[in-house]
A and B are shown apart, each in its own frame.
Chain A
Amino acid sequence: MFKRFDGDARQPVEIFVDGRPVMAREGDTVSAALLASGLDVRRQTAVSGAPRLPYCMMGVCFDCLVTIDGMGNRQGCLVPVRPGMQVEIQKGKREIGR
């Protein structure tokens, strides 16, 4: 769907998506890094389990919901990546306690 522009000279930042290492760039949001990763990062909705990807990328649609460092229902499009960040693709509802 998306590729990185060739002239992007930002520092790489390693994050983990469901345990797999993914190379993001400094300044990426989690959702941008996921979209650029080429991995299947579709979440499943809480209501029907339908597959979704981010829709608005500006904090209003909540289709980018993702578990970040053990906390569920984070808006991936608003959270910047940090080295070593653990991202889990959310399947269904947020679990109690995370």
Chain B
Amino acid sequence: MADPHFGLERHDPEGFSLTAAVDSAPPDEPSLPVGEWLRKNLFSSPFNTVLTLVFTVVALAGLRGLLNFAFSEERNWDAVRVNLRLLFTQAYPEDQYIRVWVSVGIVVALSGLSLGLWARLSGVPVARVAMWSMTAGGLIALGVVLREPSAVSGPDGDPMRDAAGEVIRQSFGAAMGDRIWWWLAAAVLFGVGAGLWRGFEDERRRHTYVPTIPLVFGSLGVVVATLWLYRWGHYAFTGNEFVYEPDRTAALSTKLPWTVMWLLLMASWAAGRQGRGTPAEGRLKVLVNLAWLLSPFILFWVVLRDPAIDWAHVWSTDLPMAAGFVIGGGAVLYGLTRPGIGEVGRVIAVGLLAFAGFNWVAAFAGWYPMLQKARFGFLLLALAALLAPNFTGERAQRLRLVWGWAGAMTVVQYLVTMANTESTLNTPTSEFLGGFSVTLFVAVFTLIFSFPLGVLLALGRTSKLPIFRVLSTAYIEAMRGIPLITVLFFFANMLNLFLPQNMELGSVAAVTVGFSLFAAAYLAENVRGGLQAVGRSQYEASDAVGLTTVQRTMFIVLPQGLRVSIPPLVGQVISTFKETSLLAVIGIFDFLFLANRAIPSQSEFLGVKREGLLFVSIVYWIFAFSMSKYSQRLERRLGVGER
């Protein structure tokens, strides 16, 4: 390393000190010589020595078993490679694939912007990077040695067998020679690590930081680069052959799109970074948050579904109704925020709520027809009217509620219209989602629905009003007493019997509702834990400054309570994400079902199941592990457990 002063050192544009960075904890005492460290940590007593040896053998045997399994000549990894597209998007039409890439692009761009806007410039100590690199190199070398020699393949390509039917394997030396590329990779990784370690003396090693962002972007770049060098999944069926098809459309060949995604990530990060510190930063953050909130709806309903808009219906029904709600509702809200309206405002709001509720009763009983969209509109108007007292005051303040209403209503009317419009996608099966996309759909929407519901249930359970408390407690305890799989079967098969006439939910949507209701009960308990951690004095102080109950809850109790609940909430998000694999049990073609049932029943891959299951586990692990890492970061940043 010619110039040891690479990266950034104790400096950040915002004056943020990297010595106090989130990753500041030094790795375990790197100053000790290796022999000393080993003696102290692994062989400190005869008993510990035995433990170390036994568990080393167990770990090595486990690693060897895994490697022999994954790299065995019996494994048919083509089953996964050929089916990559099936596993992620199932039957999404090939000529519409650009929609999938646009969706991924939007998520990537939002991630980049968020990173740029929010993430602190942090760094990882050189010592740790060196350690990672050396560990990775060492592990690869270990794996190369541990894995049993490959089988000798006969003239027909199948492994040769001896008289007893055992596979004939290469000699150890020949096997090591064949794995020259792995050796090289191990040597390069180890060499880089060792070079970094040597290039810095002890103090500087721990206090020089490699900036995180270039490190992450660089690693992603390496992954993307391998797409250009290695044919991970470029195979397709033509007749009975696996054929490499270099002239496939760019949409299906993944290397170009992923390269664009990688560049997009960096560009949007840079854009977010530019926006930082400018006067518009606050507004930009609100915009990005709104975009995140809207993105699942827009992506799943508009971009991916490609609705066929019926303009006649839009002009005759949708547009007039949207305009009516925006303008009429706005006028009502403007009136309700008049200063000095007093109790009359509340009475009107409660009246609206009663009317909205009655519409739903009528829907279930089938008394009078009304567009579902209008029912939702009235319900939202009633909720907005309840918020009106917070906006009384001068004209600008009142208009804020009206504009907020107009914006929210426009978006809602637009999305509902889109969701109610037929899809133009030409898919062979009834669902345009399948595989990983259905897993993501259920997980994301479960999160979106269960979070507000869970918080409301937690508030209800800690409420002083007995009716709220009893109802919330009853709901939470009932849901927690039922196994999840029972809930799923119930919703998949029976939900439609309980819905109003002419309202029908498909199995994926029905199961999402079931998941959300179930997750909300658990989420409520997690949030309640946080709420109870908010001290008595906070309540008394907010009473003392004259806050209303709503204000106290919104601005004092919830922010503190939710902060404390972050670790269990993230745990819940991860488990919900993984529990979506239960969809396989009720026969929905999700990620797991495709690997476990659909691929093993393709005639070319009859019974080839283990490869798919290993692949699915790895993908689930990558997602769950990233979420877990992110939550640890969030925890440190918010100081949970310190304050």
> Do they bind each other?
no
Chain A residues within CB distance 8 Å of chain B: none
Chain B residues within CB distance 8 Å of chain A: none
